Amino acid sequence: MATNDRLLLEAHETPSEEAIARIEREFRDGFDLVAQIDRPAVAVFGSARTPESDPSYATARKVGGEFARRGWAVITGGGPGIMEAANRGAHEAGGLSVGLGIQLPHEQAFNHYLDLSYSFHHFYARKVCFVKPSEGYVVLPGGFGTLDETFEALTLIQTGKASMFPVVLLGSSHWDGLLEWLRRQVLETGKISPPDLDLIHLTDDPAEAAAIVVDAYALKA
């Protein structure tokens, strides 16, 4: 089954007014949902394939709780794995737990720890609605989708399209290789500047991850 995004990309003609109206409606519905978030929010990303037995699941659950206890909302993609763990941690700590899902051919159901949720048809509308309410990103081990969200955020901040907010990589054993590659292959060849790497924070401690984001918000407020 082809997704709505694929149908639009493969169409040879200009999208119909009806298709454009559907996209506009999805943006509006997404904005209406994030307008219900009545406190600072953090977006937490990571693999949907992470089982509960994986140490990263426990870490994500802890970080969700850390933010909730500080009065913050936790936003994820609303699915299983790391997303479920972060929402679960926030829910268990009495916080606001939000899921911004995406409809895919092999659709993943929302997890059971959400107070607010919305299922998008289009990735780009969903990405905008992640950035709009978020005061920081915390990123745990994940695959292509996790990397896509991470570098999209870094690009928006680097180019001034989004306001400055922390991007915290949680789990040094997973992220060390990527950071070394960025330093050696991207920074040293002049593809990015030293301040660009300063946008990225690395930690193994869920409490420190929360503190980095919360402290940056306090300085901005």
Contacts of 52 (CB under 8 A, 6+ apart): 85
In sequence order, the β-bridge partners of residue 74 are 42, 97
Q: Which is it for strands 200-203 and 167-170: parallel, antiparallel or unpaired? A: parallel
Number of domains in the chain: 1
Q: Are 73 and 37 in contact (CB under 8 A)?
A: yes
Q: Which CATH number belongs to the domain containing residue 194 in this structure?
A: 3.40.50.450
202-220 burial: b if 16+ Cβ within 10 Å, else e: bbeebebbbebbbebbeee
Please state, rounded to an integer, the average pLDDT across all residues of the chain: 92
Confidence at residue 103, expressed as pLDDT on a 0 to 100 scale: 85
The predicted-structure confidence for 7-38, as pLDDT tens digits, reads as follows 555 666 676 788 788 889 999 999 999 999 99
- Look at residue 5 and tell me whether its pLDDT is greater than 60: no
At 42, the amino acid letter reads: V
**Per-residue pLDDT at 12:** 60
Q: Report how far residue 12's alpha carbon sits from residue 210's, in angstroms, rounded to the nearest whole number.
A: 46
Domain range enclosing 135: 4-220
* Identity at 198, one-letter amino acid code: D
